[in-house]
Amino acid sequence: MDFINITVENRNGDRQQLELPTDMGLSLMEALKASEYNILATCGGMALCATCHVEVLEGGEKLGSMSDAELDMLDTLPDAGPDSRLACQLRINDAMHEAVFKIRGEEE
């Protein structure tokens, strides 16, 4: 089984490194929820709610381009910036290795 390491910064600024499998087809949202981060993910990963909003602090240039649905949803967020992504739209893969993500979405 292949793994990557990412760093996640929570809403309080605390950082934790996570080791995530690349062979299970998980989204970043699913991996964060499984790691017990407080993420609403109201729509279940359909890019319809933006409650899994993350900011890519490092490694964003290696992530794939955004879908129209992701772009449209991020346009509805007043605090979205150029490094914003929806965690439900990011599949765990080798390109994410050493990336740093900050959780921005709503809390439960």
Domains of the chain: 3-103 (3.10.20.30)
> Could you tell me the pTM of the whole model?
0.94
Which of the four pLDDT bands, split at 50, 70 and 90, describes residue 89? Answer: very high
pLDDT of residue 107: 79
In whole angstroms, give the CA distance from residue 99 to residue 69. Answer: 23
For 52-83, the pLDDT digits (tens) are 999 999 999 999 899 999 999 999 999 999 99
Mean pLDDT rounded to a whole number for the chain: 94
3-class secondary structure, 97: coil
pLDDT score of 7 more than 70: yes
